DNA sequence: TTGTATGCGTTATCAT
DNA sequence: ATGATAACGCATACAA
């Protein structure tokens, strides 16, 4: 439709077009209080006519703020359901009028360090570092040159604010839910691998609940192997079912473990949830809603952690961020397996 | 360890520190040919000592290039396995020394338009728009102000280059594979919903292969419903199995459909793959590798599309991009269900 | 209320 | 080979 407006107009072009000074244009652009309605209208009209678009790089040079935040993650792909962290972070940033620079490191520390360097060069207003599973992180000193928040991980010296799932509370609640349903013999198939805080937190939460009700029995606990993807779930469930006093409920510390447990129970001809109830953990949507019966599980608050991180990052109005360590609750998702 | 270097040094600071002119520093920074080794060394040393870090916003003001590319996607979450598109795009951008600005629109067109506007304000070097399923897209005119590439979708007027999966070829090959295994009666459970190109392409590929071998029979085709998530797979498989001349293989146009078909076959006591082979589509990793037996399927080239898009975007050395329409092959992933 | 001038950190042009 | 200087587009301090 329109002609050749190659989007090249500057603040001065619209100034002369509107017959005002450059400063005035800047003022209306930034909604300054002291500018008459008539001139504001003229300027707005000129902006419209010349198809003006402000240059954020120029603006950044003056103000020092880029309106961009950096987001670094270690393994965006391995636990794909965790993209909700990014989604939550980006959505909140958007509400603040900011855009998000995303880099996936694939767990390569050199890339993470360089990513931080590149973001600093771009003058990001803040950086968020997200791990895809709860663990301790290691970051370069330069991270402290800008406001930063950690998701699903923490620094050895706790010098940065972080938000993680409340593993203990979630496991405790999951166990309580099962107990409330009348179960006395509740097995736990824990996860393996390097997610220490998750492994220990979930075990502790389960243990505390069981002990509080005088139900604790170490035979009911199966520790995870390192095969990954919950592949030990099958053998673990089999083992649990061979107990003389076999459990009437199994708490799987991961939905993928639950999927394998389902398979074992199925082969044994044991009905879920009538003979044995199964509780998952993660709310790994592709797994939980593909299983039959649908899996009841504790949801990891991915979206919420992403939101919290950006919210906290941006709330700090430039002040140095208090290095709080926040634990977010994991809601129980009731479906059909309990 | 070091003192109070608050990372504030500019090109001039290091110039005076090294006892040279500002221009010289810029030259070594950009690897210009005509600079003596001795001065280069001095400058490098000063850079090191003052912990200098270039300002990309200042650089962008001069050069006009931001070294950033924008990535807009409609539904990052609904088909979460498609994050590989982002992963592939970001990885290639990284290799080019560029960072990626990501915004998820949740399918909201207003957000998409505004995102493009914001990216233009930030002077991105290019924009990639990715749909999470193969369809026609609608974008504002302003998208043409910068190099742009489409993923998994296309514009009505084909004015932008795009990369999509070769739906026809993939379905054709999937069917051929089944035929080669000796199957004559091959059922197709197609998908429902609004992914027109995928629905039609897969149907056409299947049909072409069946006809080429004189195996075509419309009774073998079940069209998908709109329940989503492949939930019609169960009923469709049941229907197929009730045929007088029932199929010995089922081609499911989506892994989630296959998951439901598994359930149906299971209930019917039909063994996979011995009595009925099952071919999936998507290589939806959480589904395909959770099922038992593991699902053989056609993989959507998500990662490759992301890579291709950025590669093509950046290859154009500033020249306007030729609006080619590329179809990428979908590799067959052999597992246990065939 | 509004116009003018200055400087943010670079790169590029022009001397030398 | 290298140093001085202008200009990129904007926000702000200062003047009017």
Both B282 and B210 in one domain: the answer is: yes
Residues facing residue A221 across a β-bridge:
A188
User: What CATH number does residue A271 fall under?
Assistant: 3.40.50.2300
Find and give the residue nearest to C11, measured CA to C1': B62
Contact between chains at A84 and B99 (C-beta distance less than 8 A):
no
Q: Which two tokens stand for residue B234?
A: 């169960």
Rg (CA), chain B: 26
Question: Which of the two residues, A317 and B308, has the higher pLDDT score?
Answer: B308
B150-158 LR contacts (CB < 8 Å, sep 24+): B150/B309, B151/B85, B151/B89, B151/B305, B151/B306, B151/B309, B152/B85, B152/B305, B153/B129, B154/B325, B158/B323, B158/B325
Q: How high is the pLDDT of residue B318?
A: 61
In a domain, B2, yes or no: no
Q: Are B179 and B213 in contact (CB under 8 A)?
A: yes
Residue of B56, B87, B145 with shortest CB distance to A76: B87
Where residue A319 falls among pLDDT bands split at 50, 70, 90? confident
User: Within an 8 Å CB–CB cutoff, is residue B146 touching chain A?
Assistant: no
Contact between chains at A80 and B80 (C-beta distance less than 8 A):
yes
In a domain, A2, yes or no: no
Say how far B58 CA is from D8 C1', in Å.
9
Contact between chains at A123 and B94 (C-beta distance less than 8 A):
no
The chain A residue lying nearest B63, using CA atoms, is A57
B-contacting residues in A 5-34 (Cβ below 8 Å): 6-7
In a domain, B1, yes or no: no
Q: How high is the pLDDT of residue A228?
A: 67
pLDDT more than 90, % of chain A: 84
User: What CATH number does residue A45 fall under?
Assistant: 1.10.260.40
Contact between chains at B122 and A263 (C-beta distance less than 8 A):
no
Both A294 and A221 in one domain: the answer is: yes
Both A160 and A171 in one domain: the answer is: no
pLDDT of residue A153 exceeding 70: yes
Both B138 and B204 in one domain: the answer is: no
Both A117 and A207 in one domain: the answer is: no
Q: Which of B103, B112, B113, B100 is nearest to B69 (CA)?
A: B100
Both A212 and A144 in one domain: the answer is: no
pLDDT of residue A178 exceeding 50: yes
Task: Please count the other Cβ atoms lying within 10 Å of the Cβ belonging to residue B38.
Answer: 8
Q: Mean pLDDT, to the nearest integer, of A144-157?
A: 96
In a domain, A137, yes or no: yes
In a domain, B338, yes or no: no
Q: Which domain holds residue A256?
A: 167-299
Q: Are strands A249-252 and A186-189 parallel, antiparallel or unpaired?
A: parallel
In a domain, A336, yes or no: no
Contact between chains at B77 and A90 (C-beta distance less than 8 A):
no
Say how far A61 CA is from C10 C1', in Å.
11
Round to the nearest angstrom and report the end-to-end CA distance of chain B: 61
Cα–Cα distance between A234 and B184 in angstroms, integer?
A: 36
Cα–Cα distance between B29 and A217 in angstroms, integer?
A: 66
Cβ < 7 Å from nucleic strand D: A 8, 10-12, 22-23, 26-27, 29-30, 54-55, 58-59, 61-63; B 19-24, 27, 33-36, 38-40, 58, 61-62
Q: How high is the pLDDT of residue B190?
A: 96
Both B187 and B155 in one domain: the answer is: no
Contact between chains at B104 and A90 (C-beta distance less than 8 A):
yes
Where residue B1 falls among pLDDT bands split at 50, 70, 90? very low
pLDDT of residue A4 exceeding 50: no
In a domain, A148, yes or no: yes
Say how far B65 CA is from D8 C1', in Å.
12
In a domain, A1, yes or no: no
Both A149 and A230 in one domain: the answer is: no
Find and give the residue nearest to C2, measured CA to C1': A24
Residue A314, CA distances (Å) to A148, A319, B328 in order: 10, 10, 41
User: Within an 8 Å CB–CB cutoff, is residue A286 touching chain B?
Assistant: yes
User: Within an 8 Å CB–CB cutoff, is residue A73 touching chain B?
Assistant: no
- Average pLDDT score over chain A: 93
Q: How high is the pLDDT of residue A127?
A: 98
Residue B197, CA distances (Å) to A318, B23, B106 in order: 49, 55, 21
**How many Cβ contacts (< 8 angstroms) between chains A and B?**
126
The chain B residue lying nearest A52, using CA atoms, is B121
Nearest-CA distance B324 → chain A (Å)? 24
Nearest-CA distance B25 → chain A (Å)? 17
User: Within an 8 Å CB–CB cutoff, is residue B76 touching chain A?
Assistant: yes
Cα–Cα distance between A142 and A95 in angstroms, integer?
A: 28
pLDDT tens-digit series, residues B106-138: 999 999 999 999 999 999 999 999 998 889 999
User: Within an 8 Å CB–CB cutoff, is residue A111 touching chain B?
Assistant: yes
pLDDT tens-digit series, residues A263-293: 899 889 999 999 999 999 999 887 888 788 9
Q: Which of A284-293, B37-46, B115-124, B169-178 has the lowest mean pLDDT?
A: A284-293
Residue of A6, A229, A292 with shortest CB distance to B263: A292
Count of domains observed in chain B: 3
| Half-sphere exposure in the Cβ direction for A4 (13 Å, CA) | 0
| Half-sphere exposure in the Cβ direction for B93 (13 Å, CA) | 34
Contact between chains at A122 and B284 (C-beta distance less than 8 A):
no
**Cα-flanking dihedrals φ and ψ of residue A161, to 5°?**
-65, 150
Q: Which of A66-70, B6-10, B67-71, B217-221 has the lowest mean pLDDT?
A: B6-10
Q: How high is the pLDDT of residue B118?
A: 98
Both A72 and A23 in one domain: the answer is: no
Find which nucleotide's C1' atom is closest to B32's CA.
D1
Both A232 and A187 in one domain: the answer is: yes
Both A145 and A36 in one domain: the answer is: no
Find and give the residue nearest to D13, measured CA to C1': A23
Contact between chains at B117 and A256 (C-beta distance less than 8 A):
no
pLDDT of residue A188 exceeding 70: yes
pLDDT tens-digit series, residues B67-78: 999 999 998 756
Both B285 and B181 in one domain: the answer is: yes
Where residue B174 falls among pLDDT bands split at 50, 70, 90? very high
């Amino acid at each position: 439709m329109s002609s050749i407006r190659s989007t090249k107009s500057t603040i001065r072009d619209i100034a002369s077009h509107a017959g005002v000074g450059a400063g005035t244009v800047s003022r209306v652009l930034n909604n300054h209080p002291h500018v008459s309605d008539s001139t504001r209208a003229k300027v707005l009209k000129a902006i419209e006519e010349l198809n003006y678009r402000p240059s954020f790089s120029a603006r950044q040079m003056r103000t020092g703020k880029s309106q961009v935040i950096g987001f670094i993650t270690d393994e965006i792909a391995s636990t794909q359901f965790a993209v909700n962290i990014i989604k939550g972070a980006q959505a909140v940033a958007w509400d603040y009028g900011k855009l998000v620079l995303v880099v996936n490191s694939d767990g390569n520390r050199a890339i993470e360090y360089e990513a931080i360097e590149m973001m600093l060069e771009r003058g990001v207003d803040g950086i968020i570092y997200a791990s895809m599973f709860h663990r301790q992180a290691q970051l370069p000193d330069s991270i402290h040159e800008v406001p930063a928040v950690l998701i699903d991980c923490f620094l050895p010296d706790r010098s940065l604010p972080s938000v993680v799932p409340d593993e203990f509370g979630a496991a405790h609640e999951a166990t309580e839910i099962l107990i409330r349903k009348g179960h006395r013999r509740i097995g736990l198939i824990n996860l393996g691998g390097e997610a220490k805080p998750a492994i220990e937190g979930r075990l502790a939460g389960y243990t505390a609940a069981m002990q509080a009700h005088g139900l604790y029995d170490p035979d009911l606990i199966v520790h995870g192997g390192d095969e990954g993807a919950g592949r030990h779930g099958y053998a673990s469930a089999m083992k649990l079912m061979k107990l003389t006093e076999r459990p009437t409920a199994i708490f799987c510390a991961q939905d993928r473990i639950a999927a394998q447990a389902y398979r074992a129970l199925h082969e044994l001809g044991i009905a879920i949830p009538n003979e044995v109830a199964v509780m998952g953990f993660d709310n790994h949507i592709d797994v939980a809603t593909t299983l039959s019966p649908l899996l009841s599980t504790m949801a990891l608050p991915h979206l919420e952690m992403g939101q919290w991180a950006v919210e906290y990052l941006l709330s700090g109005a430039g002040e140095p961020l208090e290095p709080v360590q926040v634990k977010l609750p994991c809601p129980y998702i009731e479906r059909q397996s309990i």
